[in-house]
Amino acid sequence: MVPLVAPQTLFEKRRTVLDVRLSKRLAVGAAQLQANMDVYNVLNSSAALSVNNTFGPRWQFPIGTNGTEPILWGRMIQFGAQLTF
């Protein structure tokens, strides 16, 4: 049996995700306050996490969408603080 696509010839796009954290330590009396800002998916990639590998009309479409919507979550920002005393 001959495969439709030869093995090791068809690959999905590479997925690059960059997360960044900025922190600042501040003295508050005898305590220490650490303020954090986390930014997830800084590059805002819209890479598909999984594609349909079953041959047919939806072959190579991202699973769970109509093929045009991004699967990877969008850019998110989170703020936080930690108080040590």
The 10s digit of each residue's pLDDT in 23-45 is 999 999 999 999 999 998 888 76
**Which residue type is seen at 41?**
N
Task: Kindly state the percentage of the chain with pLDDT values over 70.
Answer: 62
CA 69, CA 52: separation in Å to the nearest integer? Answer: 14
Give the number of residues written for the chain: 85
CA 22, CA 69: separation in Å to the nearest integer? Answer: 30
The residue behind tokens 């603080």 is: 81
- pTM of the entire predicted model: 0.57
Q: How far is CA 80 from CA 26, 33, 63, 73, in A?
A: 14, 11, 34, 20
CA 64, CA 50: separation in Å to the nearest integer? Answer: 9
